[in-house]
Structure 1
Amino acid sequence: MRPDGTSSATRANGRSDTSNGLVTSPRSKTGMASSLNGKASGHINGKAATNGSLKSPVLPPTYFGHDREEVTRILIQSLYDLGYNGAAASLSRESGYELESPAVAAFRSAVLDGQWAEAEHILLESFESNEDNPADGPSPVWGRLALAESADKNEMLFLLRQQKFLELLEARDLGAALMVLRQELTPLNHNIAQLHALSSLLMCPPEHLQEQSGWDGSIGSSREFLLSELSTFISPSVMIPDHRLAVLLDHVKQNQINQCLYHNTAYPPSLYCDHLCDRNAFPRQSIVQLSSHEDEVWYVEFSHDGTKLATASKDRSVFVYDTTDNFSIIHKFVEHDEPVAYATWSPDDSKLITCSRDNRAKLWDIETGRCLFTTEPFSEPVTAAAWAPDGESFVTASLDAKAQLCHWGLRSHHHLPLYTWPGGFRVQDCAITPDGSRLIAADVTGKLYVYNFETHAEEYCLPFKSKITSVSVSKDSKFVLINMAEGQIQLIDLDTTEVVRRFRGQKQGEYVIRSSFGGAAENFIVSGSEDSNVYIWHKENGTLVEMLEGHNEGCVNAVSWNPTNPSMFASAGDDHVVRIWSRETPGDSNSGKGRITSSNGFTQTSALRSTTTLF
């Protein structure tokens, strides 16, 4: 529905059904014969033709160094995208540039209207040589597609005929669908695996066709998606990729974000001016110092809604703070018999898992503070845990080589693992991707294991020369961040297994140090260090943004960025203190040092004790 109450059916590439004056079959529009390759009749290289004594202005072929035709045609497309069809048509007339050649327009219409024979005819004609057409060949208005060098005729035909086959199945015309499969798809001898998958759909009930084929039907967006796939084989000079201006603007914004070291907002930069964030708005100031623990603090984690903070310590306790009430203490859990190394929130923040060197993991109810479940004791410490995205189960990681990864269900009546991964290795840390597809585990020898979380099958194992001390997964489930004992942090693509970026500068060698993603759009990497400092890098360019002093002695063991407040993160140290970092306010000193005050107002004076070592 348009703002004036009228409807306007749009199609891919920002075009309406009859935009630019082109109708379904350009064969009947002989007057458009010379409008090929984006240029209109009577216009050459972007210059309007003169008419008798009337002289049209001669415009330069470039626009601030950019090709005038490219800029104009992209503007025409974007006006259609924005819904300004009249303005788009007017710009086309005034400039003399058409959005698409008649051949492209004909091909687009044929695909979107399901005229498969016509679409194939245009395609096959386009693959012929560029020699003069024979006498009985197509008329000049028909034209040819300008194909990209990578264009594969059989692949393009396969895509077209596959759509035709699926639509016949959807219409329950099984006889015609079988003919397409046998006489049109099979002879192409292309993508045999997909051909077998299509064959299996012949027996598929109609109500399950879309789910089983991963296809949304002829009345969905499947034809638009097909056209988008086919367009990758057509030269962009005649068929501009969909929403090109929007894509270019995204590139501009992302480049500005990448160049801005302190970009820490969920809002994209304005296009009106160059973008630069103020360093003083970045969380560099230690504003709160929590000293409730009596020994080294080994872990810290904000709840998903940012309203609570959990801390785990060598003193065997776990504190839960209210971040909305001056970090007042909500709970203190003291039922573990040995130091607590890890704590993690359920997806809905109603529960907390704690992992301890007493060889147990405990599940806590945050509302009541009651322990809901304690695992049977492992033979060695439980090092970490990870929640499934639905919050109905979780995985524990342990140094117990016989039960290093166990999957637990909240609704299990016997409190026994739902599944235990085989392997015989000892796990230091684990994580489940937010989309629930993968379980990632790091063992103590420097290997990273990636499993299919649903099937439990191992996808791959990556060996490293150094021990891995922590594992963290990005919100989009595409990347894993690993801390390494050699003093390096690596960002790894989970699909390709390639190292995307390395972050260096922090000190690490003997102890367990944890890093994480941080910032409004995970623009930063933040890590503790053995030199008592906090290190923050820009994720995209790897630049060290800040090295923050604040903890008095020993290691900074773990860090956590508030998921709902990009201007706040927490760090946990061997100095028994959890520091809350935020942006500076007028009059603040950025020394980060000084007298450490606990959340209850008492001064922390206890001496430093031994640090967390690698298991």
Structure 2
Amino acid sequence: MPLANGNGVGPSGSNGVMNGKGALARVNLPGHLLYEGSNVDREEFVRLLLQSLRDVGYIESAATLEAESGYSMEQPEVERFRGYVLDGKWSKAEAALTRLGIVDEESIWDAKFLINKQKYLELLEAQKTTTALHVLRTELAPSSPEPAQLHALSSLIMCTEPEDVRQRAGWDGASGQSRQQLLLDLHRFIPPSVMIPKRRFLTLLQQAHEDQLRRCIYHNTPSDSTPFSLFSDHMCDKDGFPGVTTTILLGHADEIWNVEWSHDGMFLASGSADKTAIIWYMGSDSRKWEAHLILQEHPFAVHSLAWSLDDSMLLTGSEHFIKLWDAKTGTCLRTLDEHTETITALSWLPDGSGFISGALDRKIIQWDTEGRKKLSWGLSDLRITDLAVTPDLSRVVTIGMQAPSSSESSTRGARGNGTPGDHSTSNSGGNPSSGNGIMATEHRCIVYHFSTRQVESSVKLDGELTSVKISQDSQYALINHAPDEIHLWDLRLGRLARKFTGQRQGRHIIQSCFGGIDGTFVASGSEDGNVYVWHRDTGLLLEVLAGHEDGSVNSVAWNPKNERMFASCADDHSIRIWEAPTRETNIDAPRHTHYSVSYSAKGKGKTRQVDGDVEDATGMASSSSATLL
């Protein structure tokens, strides 16, 4: 026997509506699922359709569907409740709560508190102080979940002007959107089957779109510019992925250990074992690179780099020295020598108040924008090999080796002594070998709360830790972990989220990065001379990019303004710029091998060597080059 479709009736209480030819009969369908074998409830589906049709203005169509299906979008009590809240009928709104399916006593108290808070603020705004005080004492105080919140509300009594009330309460007033916001806040107490969340169908569609983007392993375009069709799933091909070397930058005389992009994506800084840093300028055409400045005056190899937020200054780390440079002129503004061992990390603070440094001497030091010492965090438990500040300035993530006892310290060397090529992890005091008197080393990741400088968490990890980067949403820390792993840590949940494998790392300091739209890729160098790229959310290895010669690829940095470009630097003294293929690009080599790029345009088709004289920090002319493939 066919089942009825529900207990709802048409808007007039009849079993149908008039359509010019008579009343529409209710359609009776068997079962309660939308399709046989599906798990979608038909009533929920139809009620969401009714909500969507009314939202976009198809009122008669909604009425027809309601009559044919026998389902009502919501009970009349729900619509009346909305009206009570939007019209400011607070007593009636309170009384209606129990009729909306709220059975938990605590939830009822919390919902009443929100309603009375709105009533209280509106009375203060209307300068009805006596009535507001009565509400505070007899209605808010008995239901206040927190004394501190009640105290903050009571302090508003002293406001003499409506604008003061709105400003101090962070509230936009009775004539603003506060009542609509109150309805949204009350939604969490009312069962969604009783009061359907606002625009629920649209929310489901947006969630489906976001899930498709996450599943698309080569997705690399902004979500707001990505076409979204209801007729087919989203899927990108490889065309948007930067897998082609378009430029090789030559200028350093020894291994290049680090590269960092400026925030505007127009400049690239590189640090080398040849005791120099070079600032490269890309220009408006990514194939017109030039060496903008050569920063000399370093007594040792340059291993740490950091751009100021406005890109006007560059920090370089060379052993225990920090140099602060004017990135436009190449003038060394200040040399800092507060650290006593190798500086392994430099990071400008996201609020623009200065920068922070970490070193093997266990010190974490905060500096102002002019390089004056502001604050020392004291001695960490770690000989710090790297640190990173979360973009929301809530945490500082440090990695390194547990500090040795005094009896051990004399047997352990610091990283490098200025000898070109000395960038192995063993010189950082880690990976001690047996039989030489060095004790086993414990490696840890310690997370500090930035404002209090207190330890939030400390995790012991097996294997050496050489690099840490933070995702733009401040949720994930990417940690290079020898041997041969990169770990993705969820800082909010305090657990390992994923491992990335395939690259080679056991002897050298290798630095990885997030890249692409919303940090959807993870890229890393490797001791086998290749660049490895994974899909962050699945851990799938997407590309192994060859091109660098023998030796390690030491660092990879993604352009912050161009999701289709990143740079890599290596022991072969070169920097490679990787970009997405264009119509001019011809890939005539097998996948995952060196890409040979040619151009069909006039005057192109061969490798061009661009040589030129640039000024170094002393004003002397120096030669550098950029090879364009």
Are the structure 2 counterparts of residues 52 and 435 from structure 1 closer, same or farther at C-alpha, using a change threshold of 3 Å? closer
Q: Contact between 1:49 and 1:56, CA under 8 Å: does it hold in 2? A: no
Q: Distance in 2 between matches of 1:102 and 1:174?
A: 35
Question: 2-side partners of 1:557 and 1:527: how far apart?
Answer: 8
SS of 2:378's partner is coil
**Aligned equivalents of 1:43 and 1:485: distance in 2?**
73
Shift of 1:443: 3.5
State the shift of 1:380 in Å: 1.1
Aligned to 1:421: 377
In structure 2, relative to structure 1, the CA distance for the partners of 1:80 and 1:439 (3 Å cut) is: farther
* Residue pairs, 1:139-538, within 5 angstroms: 144-147=99-102, 152-188=107-143, 190-203=145-158, 209-210=165-166, 212-266=168-222, 267-271=225-229, 272-324=231-283, 326-357=288-319, 359-401=320-362, 404-411=363-370, 415-424=371-380, 425-445=382-402, 446-453=443-450, 455-458=451-454, 460-466=456-462, 467-538=464-535
- SS of equivalent residue, structure 2 residue 45: helix
Residue 94 of structure 2 corresponds to which residue in structure 1? 120
Relative distance call for 1:595 and 1:108 in structure 2 (3 A) is closer
Deviation at 1:117, TM superposition (A): 0.8
Question: Following the alignment from structure 1 to structure 2, what is the Cα–Cα distance between the partners of residues 40 and 119?
Answer: 24
Kindly indicate whether the alpha-carbon contact (under 8 Å) linking 2:54 and 2:62 is maintained by their aligned counterparts in 1: no
Give 1:135's aligned residue: none
Instruction: Give the CA deviation at 1:514.
Output: 1.4
Structure 2 counterpart SS, 1:233: coil
User: Within 1, Cα distance between the matches of 2:457 and 2:356?
Assistant: 19
Residues 95 and 368 of structure 1: is their aligned pair in 2 closer, same or farther, counting only changes over 3 Å? Answer: same
Is 1:545 the counterpart of 2:542? The answer is: yes
Percent of matched pairs sharing the same residue:
40
Task: Identify which of 567, 588, 597 aligns with 2:564.
Answer: 567
Q: Which SS does the other structure have where 2:314 is aligned?
A: strand
Alignment of 1:50-65 (within 5 A): 56=25, 58=27, 60=29, 65=38
Deviations 1:493-516 (A, max 9, x none): 333323333323323233322121
Q: Is the 8 A contact 1:485 1:511 kept in 2?
A: no
Distance 1:569 1:292 in 2: 18
SS at match of 1:242: coil
8 Å CA contact 2:10, 2:66 repeated in 1: no
Structure 2 residue matching 1:529: 3-state secondary structure: coil
How far off its partner does 1:559 sit?
Answer: 0.7
Secondary structure at 1:470 match in 2: strand
Distance 1:595 1:519, change over 3 A: closer
Give the C-alpha shift of residue 62 in structure 1: 5.9
CA distance in structure 2 between the aligned counterparts of 1:428 and 1:495, rounded to whole angstroms: 23
Please state how far the C-alpha of 1:457 moved relative to its aligned partner.
Answer: 3.2
Alignment of 1:39-58 (within 5 A): 40=11, 42=13, 56=25, 58=27
- Correspondence 1:554-593 to 2 at 5 A: 554-584=551-581, 585-589=585-589, 590=591, 592-593=593-594
Counterpart CA distance in 2 for 1:309 and 1:542 is 28
Residue type at the aligned position of 1:286: T
The answer on whether the counterparts of 1:299 and 1:557 sit within 8 Å (CA) in structure 2 is: yes
Question: Secondary structure at 2:517's aligned position in 1?
Answer: coil
Match of 1:534, as an amino acid?
A: V
Across the aligned residues of Structure 1 and Structure 2, the Cα RMSD in angstroms comes to: 3.3
Gaps of 5+ in 2: 1-5, 403-442, 598-606, 613-629
Is 1:360–1:375's contact at 8 Å kept on the other side of the alignment? yes
SS at match of 1:152: helix
The offset of 1:199, in angstroms, is: 3.9
Post-superposition offset of 1:284: 1.8
Question: Deviation per CA, 1:420-455, whole angstroms, max 9, x where unpaired?
Answer: 1123443222222323343333333333344444x3
**Which residue number in structure 1 is paired with residue 66 of structure 2?**
95
Q: Is the CA contact 1:485–1:508 (under 8 Å) kept in the aligned structure 2?
A: yes
CA deviation digits over 1:548-584, x for unaligned, max 9?
Answer: 2232223222111112222211111122221121234
Amino acid paired to 1:105: E
1:201, distance to aligned residue in structure 2 (A): 4.3
User: Per-residue CA shift, 1:475-530, capped at 9, x if unaligned?
Assistant: 22333222223433333333332333332332323332212110122211112223
Contact 1:514 1:557 in 2 (8 A): yes
TM-aligned CA distance change 1:199 to 1:490, over 3 Å: farther
| 2:325 partner letter | W
Count residues in correspondence. 537
SS in structure 1 at match of 2:461? coil
Which one-letter code corresponds to 1:95 in the other structure?
E
> How much has 1:121 moved relative to structure 2?
0.6
Residues 190, 435 of structure 1: alpha-carbon distance in 2 compared, 3 angstrom cutoff: closer
> What letter matches 2:466 in structure 1?
T
1: distance between equivalents of 2:395 and 2:262? 22
The amino acid of 1:175's aligned partner reads T
Q: Which is further off, 368-377 or 203-212? A: 203-212
Alignment check: 8 A CA contact 1:421 1:456 kept: no
SS of 1:263's equivalent? coil
The structure-2 alpha-carbon separation of the partners of 1:92 and 1:306, relative to structure 1 and needing over 3 Å to count, comes to farther
Change in Cα spacing, 1:333 to 1:541, as seen in structure 2 (3 Å) is same
Quote the Cα distance in structure 2 between the aligned partners of 1:320 and 1:197. Answer: 52
Displacement after TM superposition at 1:178 (Å): 3.1
Decide whether aligned partners of structure 1 residues 290 and 53 sit closer, same or farther in structure 2, where only a CA change above 3 A counts. closer
Check conservation: 2:356, 2:367, Cα contact below 8 A: yes
Structure 1 unaligned spans of 5+: 1-34, 127-143, 603-615
Please give the per-residue CA displacement for 1:276-296, whole angstroms capped at 9, x wherever unaligned: 211243222223222322222
Structure 1: how far apart are the matches of 2:275 and 2:576? 19
CA apart distance, 1:318: 0.9
CA-CA distance at 1:113 after TM superposition? 2.6
Whole-angstrom CA distance in 2 between matches of 1:106 and 1:538:
49
Q: 1:576 to 1:246 in 2, by over 3 A?
A: same
Code of the aligned partner of 1:457: R
Paired residue for 1:110?
Answer: 84
